[in-house]
A and B are shown apart, each in its own frame.
Chain A
Amino acid sequence: MTHNIEIAFLSVYIFLLAVILGLELVRRVSPLLHTPLMSLTNAISAISVVGGILIAGEKDVRTLPQILGLVAVTAAMLNIVAGFMITDRMLKMFRRDTSKGGKR
């Protein structure tokens, strides 16, 4: 029992550290890139693909969870591919005009 509590606590530690890290990292992102940031983090939220694979891959999985898991894998995968590709497409457009120069 104490072992379980330790594991749960470890997860909570990791969670809190990741939240703090996330807040610090995102605060530093230039407002210029807020839209690409949203589409990138959107792709990252589809990390749930891992859960989908684990459920759908379980040895003697029942039909209902298997189907739900497979649909989840498809939806998450769509999200991952589209999210990364669109982020890259947007970032390619951000370009600095070195010849004419900006303000500062």
Chain B
Amino acid sequence: MGGFMQSFWMYAYFVAAFATVFSIKWLSHPSTARRGVIAGEIGFTLAIIGTFLRVEVSPSHYVSILIAIAIGAMIGAPMAKLMPMTSVPQFTALSHAFGALAAALVGTAEYYLTDAPPHGFTIVALIVEVLLGFLTFTASLMAFGKLQGLVPSPPITYKGQNFVNLTFLACGVVLGIWPMIATAPIWVFPAFTVIALIFGVMFILPIGGGDMPTVIALLNSFAGASACAMGFTLGNHLLIIAGALNAASGFILSVIMCKAMNRSFANVLFGAFGQAKEKSGVKGEAKPVHSASAEDAAMMMLNSQKVIIVPGYGMAVAQAQHKVRELADQLIKRGIDVQFAIHPVAGRMPGHMNVLLAEADISYDRLHEMEDINPDFAETDVALVIGANDVVNPAARHDKTSPIYGMPILDVDKAKHVMVIKRSMNTGFAGIENELYHDDKTLMLFGDAKGMVADIVKEIGAQSPMSS
């Protein structure tokens, strides 16, 4: 029996590794997704208990470790419970920061475990672990700051920024390689960690709010890669598997986000989007816009058979999702077909709009991906754009001088009528003029998204005596 207890961790890790794999597999569809969470929880419980019972863990340290576990759980649980759904992007960035910090600290602890720092293959993995861990820690905190509005969201750029960043990176590489090939002086490792921390901040500075979906996914990937590198330093296969799954997941999500903007990684990370501002939109189109009232909008929607709603970050900012649900309910009740079109980069993180609309109790059958719904716009009476801008700009299709040229967009302009709820004529994140607003079939509804949708709902209620 004692033998079993001693080798319990092996069985626990074995099950935990498979539980982790299945947890991601089951997450692929809403009907099995919650089972995925349970699988993950079982896996992690086993991993923690298994580790605890390993002979390497001395019983004299049980109490301190249990306290550390309890503190973490006691902070994490209320955080997850109390967080408003509109803060999901910031919250995700913040938890990346903690995960990455954990990996980096373990790496640092391993380095100082004995008088002789590790060597050979172990130190290579350890340096990677610490670099990614600390870099992701500060980068995620910065991303959190930008999303929460603590740090200005537009790209922060200065002359020679890429040069400064590359110099820092070069210093980091030199300090990182040093302990791999020779016994480094004691200041080298601390200096290396400091550079990794600073680099994380500088990495996020030039990145604008609209690029956050790509960057958050990338940080997710880094956190996983760091845990994976830890697996190599400790010779722990569970860490390697879980870390690799996570790294792959974050990586593929950021690739999907890049594709949805028709941009390369390099362009997102070093291209500071806003710089193209001056060139485009100089055409000085003095074409008028057609402004309309909530009443006009209500009438038009009531006379239609099919309405597609296109939500964007503006809907999230105004927290208009519940009013949008009321609008959809009113229209559906009157026999009008209402669907939602969701662009992959709408919002501040992958899938951001879906979560908000789900929170407002909108059935996920009505939420459609770009490729699936684009053919439907041609037979749509009204396309209602709420707080989205660049993702519906037809210039992406035909204007080669536009910075967003080539980006796949929602074909809102193919609908018979377009309505855009917008605060003012200010340009969007990319600072690009949107010709959709000047189209003859477009009605501009100026106002706050939440207030405007509420007004439309009221008008619909008043205008339609016909019973459902």
Contact = CB atoms under 8 A, between A and B. Distances in A.
A11 to B, nearest CB: 6
A95 B33 CA distance: 12
B57 interface: yes
Interface in B356-402: 358-359, 361-369
Contact of B351 (A8, A33, A57, A88): A33
A61 to B, nearest CB: 7
A49 B113 CA distance: 17
A50 B103 CA distance: 10
Contacts of A39: 88, 92, 95
Interface in A12-35: 14-15, 18-23, 25-35
Contacts of B105: 52, 68-69, 71-72, 75
Contacts of B98: 46, 75-76, 78-79
B106 A90 contact: no
Interface residues of B, number: 115
A77 B73 contact: yes
A87 B355 CA distance: 11
A46 B91 CA distance: 15
A3 interface: no
B466 interface: no
A11 B231 contact: yes
A90 B29 CA distance: 13
B30 A94 contact: yes
Contacts of A96: 30, 363-365
Interface in B74-106: 75-77, 79-81, 83, 85, 88, 91-92, 95-96, 98-103, 105-106
B104 to A, nearest CB: 8
Contacts of A78: 72-73, 75-76, 79, 95, 98
A21 B102 contact: no
Interface residues of A, number: 86
B101 A72 contact: yes
Main SS class of interface, A? helix
B426 interface: no
B34 interface: yes
Nearest to A87: B37
A25 B358 contact: no
A77 B72 contact: yes
Contact of A31 (B95, B344, B365): B344
Interface of A: 7-8, 11, 14-15, 18-23, 25-59, 61-62, 64-66, 68-97, 100-104
A94 B367 CA distance: 11
Nearest to B371: A31
B364 A47 contact: no
A90 B242 contact: no
B239 A72 contact: no
Interface of B: 20-21, 23-25, 27-30, 33-34, 36-37, 40-41, 44, 47-48, 51-52, 54, 56-58, 60-62, 64-65, 68-69, 71-73, 75-77, 79-81, 83, 85, 88, 91-92, 95-96, 98-103, 105-106, 108-110, 112-113, 121, 216-217, 220, 223-224, 226-228, 230-232, 234-253, 256, 332, 337, 339, 342, 344, 349-352, 354-355, 358-359, 361-369
Given A45-B223, A50-B238, A56 B65 contact: yes
B200 to A, nearest CB: 16
A58 B28 CA distance: 39
A30 B99 contact: no
A53 B344 contact: no
Given A47-B20, A55-B109, 8 more contacts: A41-B246, A48-B99, A52-B105, A70-B64, A75-B99, A76-B72, A78-B72, A79-B76
- Which of A29, A58, A96 counts the most chain B CB atoms within 10 A? A29
A22 B223 contact: no
Given A14-B241, A35-B88, A51-B239, A27 B252 contact: yes
A79 B217 CA distance: 16
Contacts of B121: 8
B52 A51 contact: no
Contact of B76 (A22, A85, A89, A97): A85
Given A100-B332, A102-B365, A44 B40 contact: yes
A90 B358 contact: yes
B76 A31 contact: no
A7 to B, nearest CB: 7
A15 B230 CA distance: 12
Contacts of A40: 23-24, 27, 36-37, 40
